[in-house]
């Protein structure tokens, strides 16, 4: 069975980025999902994951977390980060 890992999506500098968190690697696979305020659909996210060679594990659901641009600054802009558990596609 293939190892599972976490994919995350966040909007930075006006663009949505989806990436797969892989420890002990110099760079994480990532995909630009475009600009704008609208959140990419689940279908768009799934296609981006597929392009990176990953798929959602059975029953996985996207979860949202709130963070801030500047840690420990209550006036900082809010960042929303979505995460989901994935596996390598075809594994």
Structural domain boundaries enclosing 79: 4-88
Strands 4-12 and 78-88: antiparallel
Query: Would the pLDDT of 3 be above 90?
Result: no
The rounded distance, in Å, linking the Cα atoms of 30 and 57 is: 18
| Predicted confidence (pLDDT) at residue 4 exceeds the cutoff of 60 | yes
CB atoms within 10 A of CB 56: 19
Structurally, the chain folds into a number of domains equal to: 1
- Span 61-65, average pLDDT: 96
State the pTM of this model: 0.86
Q: Percent helix, strand, coil in the chain (nearest 5)?
A: 10, 45, 45
What the block records as the tokens of 74 is 């209550």
């Amino acid at each position: 069975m293939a190892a599972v890992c976490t994919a995350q999506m966040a909007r930075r500098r006006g663009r949505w980025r989806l990436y797969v968190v892989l420890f002990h690697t110099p760079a994480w696979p990532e995909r630009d999902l475009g600009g704008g305020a609208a959140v990419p659909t689940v279908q768009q996210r799934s296609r981006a994951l597929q392009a990176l060679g990953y798929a959602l594990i059975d029953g996985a659901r996207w979860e949202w977390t709130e963070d801030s641009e500047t840690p420990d600054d209550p006036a900082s802009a809010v960042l929303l980060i979505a995460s989901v558990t994935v596996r390598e596609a075809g594994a």
